[in-house]
Copies of this chain bind each other. A is one copy, B any other.
Amino acid sequence: MNPLEIPEIVIKRLPLYLRTLKLMADQGQTVTSSQELGDKLRISSTQIRKDLSYFGEFGKQGTGYDIGYLRDQLRKILQVNRRWDVVLLGAGDLGHAILRYSGFEDRGLSITAVFDKDEQKIGRPIAKLKVLDIATLHEVIQEHRIQIAIIAVPASEAQEVADALVNAGIRAILSYAPITLSLPAHVRIHYIDPVIGLQSMTYHLNPGPL
């Protein structure tokens, strides 16, 4: 099947499958089923089988999935069977939390530079990196041909930072700033906003006491 025909919603579920398979493997498990994956992720087993069928045959009727094999295949499909360099914009509380998050390295991603415009922060060490002057952003991205950036600056600065990233050649942005960015069509964007997640749950809650 032509990759262009695979619905984006399917692509977005694959990292969830991969994360769950990793946790199972870390606990010593070697085989799973669409039913077990579905129970853990609250997705129907039919949906999981349908999603995976876009990419081939990964399990046999009655024996389930070999976790190691399925992980390898999903890593290849998502292109995380390699290491992508990522730049981080913003060295505040959120930047610190992102840099100290240990989940990147063994999942195909590595934050290799962090930038800020605050002179108090430039040159300071965070985790294994030193904060770089945002004035050097273009040069660093071009030199290392970096395609991925994380925006962790205040909302008021996010569009300006995004423009600079696009200008330097970035193709994919993960943004924590709670605004919708204007970006050219060739640049992918994924937003992380806790309120979006919370508001999709308040819909279901019992109003209870005000």
Q: Which residues of B contact A192 (CB under 8 A)?
A: 192, 194, 197
**Interface residue? A161 (CB, 8 A):** no
Q: How far is the CB of A67 from chain B (nearest CB, A)?
A: 14
**Chain A contacts to B: CB under 8 angstroms:** 9, 11-12, 14-16, 18-20, 23, 40-42, 77-80, 82-84, 86, 92-94, 96-98, 100-101, 103-104, 107-109, 145, 147-148, 150, 155, 171-172, 174, 178-180, 182, 188-190, 192-210
CA distance A96 to B93 in the complex (A): 6
CA distance A14 to B198 in the complex (A): 12
CA distance A150 to B194 in the complex (A): 9
CA distance A64 to B168 in the complex (A): 37
Q: Which residues of B contact A42 (CB under 8 A)?
A: 189
CA distance A196 to B97 in the complex (A): 16
CB distance A179 to B23 under 8 Å?
yes
Q: What is the oligomeric copy number?
A: 2
Which B residue's beta carbon lies closest to that of A20? B180
Known: A97-B97, A98-B194, A180-B40. A148 touches B201 (CB 8 A): yes
CA distance A41 to B98 in the complex (A): 25
Q: Which residues of B contact A196 (CB under 8 A)?
A: 15-16, 19
Q: How far is the CB of A74 from chain B (nearest CB, A)?
A: 9
CB distance B178 to A79 under 8 Å?
no
